[in-house]
Every structure is written in C-alpha cells, then in structure tokens.
Amino acid sequence: MTTPTLLRPAETGTEQALQTLRRALPDAVHVPGDEPYERQRPAYRGAPAIVVEAQSAAEVQTAVRVARANELPLTVQSTGHGTLVPPDGGILLRTSPMAQVLVDPDRRIAHVGAGARWSEVIAAAEPFGLAPLSGDTPSVGVVGYTLGGGLSWLSRKHGFAADSLLKAELVTANGRLVTAGQHHHADLFWALRGGSGNFGVITALEFRLYQAPQVYGGTAVFGIERAADALSFLNHHGDLLPDELSVSMVVTRHAPEVNGPALVLRAVHAGAGGEADAQAALEPLYHAAGSPAVESLRTMRYSEMASIGGTAPRGFAMSDSLSPALIGQLVDAVRDPESGVNAAEVKHWGGAIARPTHPAPGPVSHRHVPFAMKLDASPQAIDALTAEATGGSFLNFLHDTSQTHTAYTPDNHRRLREVKARYDPDNVFCRNHNIPPA
C-alpha cells in the first residue's frame, strides 16, 4: 500500500493559490520550470514559488487577494533592479509589464505605470524640453526610486523626486484600488513620499516635470595632491554654491587619466545662464582643486547626463560636516592599496533639498544634512570610514533592512507606523525596508 504524500499547510496554500491564479490570470502566472520564470530568474535574487507578471491594476488586485486568502508571503518588484529581501517561497508580484508613460507638456506632468524606467520617462519628456527628477542610472525603475526619496542632479534646485509626486494609484493590503493625493487619502499620500513599498502595490504615479532643455555638466579629473583642499572648500563654502549647481567629489584609487589616485569632480549646472554662468559657479571649486588633468564638462541634453556616472554605493553615510579627520581618512584610504577602498564619493546636498516648497513634505528625513558619502569599499573599510558620519541614512542607498528606522526622524517614523497600521495592519507588505504597524 502506498502512503499518500501529505502537503504541509504552506504547500497546500501554494497549490491552491496557483490553481486560483491560473484560472484568473492564465497568461501572467509562472512557476519554476516555465520558460518565462527561468528567463527572468536573475532578476528575482531568490526562488519564489509563483511569479505573477501583472498587466493591469485589476491583475494586481487579484494577486494581492489570492496571496492573502492563502496566507502566502508576498514580494513586490516593479522592475528588474532587485528586491531587498529574497522572494523565497510565496508569490513574487512583478509590475514590470505596466510600463506606459504619458506626458502632458502643458501641465508639465508625467503619468507613468509601475513598470516604467527613467530612461523611458526621459525619452518621452525631452522633446518638450522637460525632465523628471531621475537619478544617475536611467535603467532604474521609477517607483522604487521615487518612494525611497529619489536624489537627482536637479534636486538642489527642485528637491527630491518624492517631493514632486502629485498622485499615486495603488492596491492596498485588502485588495482595494485607491488613488492617494493631497486631497484624497492625504495620510497615505504623505507616507508614500519616502515610506517605500510599505503601504501597497503601486500601479501608477503622477509627478511634476521641469524645464531642462539643456544642462552644463560632466567631469574633471585632478591629481590627488589637493583633494583635501577641495573637500575642505566644499565643507566650508558649499552652502554658498547656487542651487542650480550640483556637485560631487570622488577620491578614487586609480584614474587612468593620471595613472594613479585622483580627485574626480562631477558637476551639473541647470541654470538659465548657460555655459558662462556654469563656469563662473564652478571656478571656486577649480581654484581649490588645482588644474585638471582631463576635463569633459560641456553643454548637453538632460538624457546625456548618464555619461557623468556615479559610484557604486556598497556603503553609504551622511554627515553634518567634513571634518579634517574624515577628509584625511578618505584621501589616505585611496592612496593606500591595502585599505580596501576603491572610491569614496562625497555628494553635496542643500538647496531645495533642505528647503522643500511643498507645504507638507513627505517623511524623507535628514534634509538639512549637507553631505552624503557613497563608498565603494570592503565592509571593514566602510565601517572605519563611516564611524565619523553624523547624519542618519537615506533609504535609496540603505542595504541593511534592519536599519530602516535610521532613514527617518523619530517623529516621522512614528507617523509612518501609524499610517501603516491604518492601511496594512497585518504587515502584508513586509519584504522591503519594512515599517511595522504601530
């Protein structure tokens, strides 16, 4: 006599969910062994039992309801840029097929689906001389970037991407489709602008666009000899730079232009005065850093700014100042081949970041901290270099989900937990930078 195989409760729930989803969404459901599942596997960073690639808000609603009814873990991924928590088991809900982009040039507004990437928004807006507040990498998805805050080369002039959000359409934990804005679900709208994916599955966003037909930007490479002087200048005089100018200074172990350690200035000037105003704004920085070995700053289209590049953020920290001790550590680290540091980028914030124009800005915190560091270094080196940091963290660059609370002030974190309790009291959306319900 053959003994029947008994399924554990979780397996039973998975099978029931799979049957329900295949009846409701036959073309959207994939399991291990299916060609679409295996083709997309590198983007999953884990082994979900079921993948749902939703084509519409209604399909998102179905997936959320089925996951809840069968008590299955639910992980949400808008594009293929990654999930913070590996989606092992349960359902992985992908919204990447929902990638429509609509631009209203008269109102300077973009309406985008949850699967849109910044490259698609930039391409749609640029013919009208408009630009979104996108980041260094155009392939990044709009939703995760915006809900985490969103730091742009234009942020000193216009604030965080989250500050430009006007409306969000999302499916909440009970399967309802709601639209949150300044006058509808205002508490939820506040939380979404920096609270990450804790409150539902975004299906569409609407946000402001800005005039940026051309910018002046690029990089300049200097020898390492005056890097400390340049960083010290930024520390003491960065608040005098015009809001139209965004700069970062990178100390790097090896730049081919100088065949050794170097200081790399990355800059974007988005003012109306063109090249002359940009060069005048940059002149004090050049004076501090010395004569560049190579310079590539020029007038360019907004879409060309991706060529400026950025530092891989293996570590991240924020600081109220660049102390002589910290500057010395950064410069010495890239001079020492045994330090474990490849590069350290110091980004100057301030401007509209610290002075949000929205009457009720979202929960993105530490706005008045002027300096952020992205570190391409070993874990040990990151710990040593961030010991001097004093300014909290920023969700878009925070890898350790146990430290999510450090991205917020205590008051903002408390308020986020209260909103979470109203919209997701059972913490259905927890495989993320999680904010537990109050």
Q: What domains sit in the chain, N to C, each tagged with a CATH number?
A: 9-94 (3.30.43.10), 101-211+408-423 (3.30.465.10), 215-396 (3.40.462.20)
Kindly state the DSSP code that residue 2 receives in the 8-state scheme. P
Distance of alpha carbon 402 from alpha carbon 372, whole angstroms: 20
Query: Which pLDDT value is given to residue 2?
Result: 35
The answer to whether residue 9 scores a pLDDT higher than 60 is no
DSSP conformation letters of 362-402:
-S---TT--EEEEEEE-HHHHHHHHTT--S---GGG---GG
For 137-196, the pLDDT digits (tens) are 999 999 999 999 999 999 999 999 999 999 999 999 999 999 999 999 999 999 999 999
Helix axes 227-237, 324-335, angle to 10 degrees: 150
CB contact set of 274 (below 8 Å; sequence gap of 6+): 214, 216, 299
The pTM is what?
0.94
Q: Average pLDDT, stretch 393-417?
A: 94
Mean of pLDDT over the chain: 92
Higher pLDDT, 387 or 198: 198
Distance of alpha carbon 236 from alpha carbon 185, whole angstroms: 42
Element (H, E) at 39: helix 35-44
3-state secondary structure of 217: strand
CB 130 within 8 A of CB 210: yes
Distance of alpha carbon 135 from alpha carbon 151, whole angstroms: 6
The answer to whether residue 132 scores a pLDDT higher than 90 is yes
For 154-166, the pLDDT digits (tens) are 999 999 999 999 9
Pair of tokens at residue 76: 């949400």
Query: Which pLDDT value is given to residue 40?
Result: 74
Q: Give the residue among 81, 89, 149 at the shortest CA–CA distance from 115.
A: 81
Distance of alpha carbon 95 from alpha carbon 321, whole angstroms: 40
For 294-339, the pLDDT digits (tens) are 999 999 999 998 889 888 888 999 999 999 999 999 999 999 999 9
Return the percentage of the chain with pLDDT > 70, whole number: 95
Q: Which amino acid, one-letter code, is at 65?
A: R
Query: Which pLDDT value is given to residue 5?
Result: 34
- On the CB side of 358, CA atoms within 13 Å amount to 22
Q: Average pLDDT, stretch 100-117?
A: 98
For 16-60, the pLDDT digits (tens) are 999 999 999 999 999 999 988 887 766 767 889 999 999 999 999
- On the CB side of 214, CA atoms within 13 Å amount to 10
- In sequence order, which ranges of 85-154 are alpha helices (DSSP H)? 118-125, 142-147
Q: Which amino acid, one-letter code, is at 235?
A: N
Query: Which pLDDT value is given to residue 213?
Result: 81
Q: Give the residue among 144, 263, 269 at the shortest CA–CA distance from 201.
A: 144
Pair of tokens at residue 203: 């299906």
Q: What angle do CA 83, 86, 90 make, to 5 degrees?
A: 110
CB 303 within 8 A of CB 231: no
3-state secondary structure of 345: strand
Q: Give the residue among 197, 172, 192 at the shortest CA–CA distance from 182.
A: 192
Query: Which pLDDT value is given to residue 81?
Result: 62
Query: Which pLDDT value is given to residue 200?
Result: 98
For tokens 């706005």, name the residue: 367
The answer to whether residue 215 scores a pLDDT higher than 90 is yes
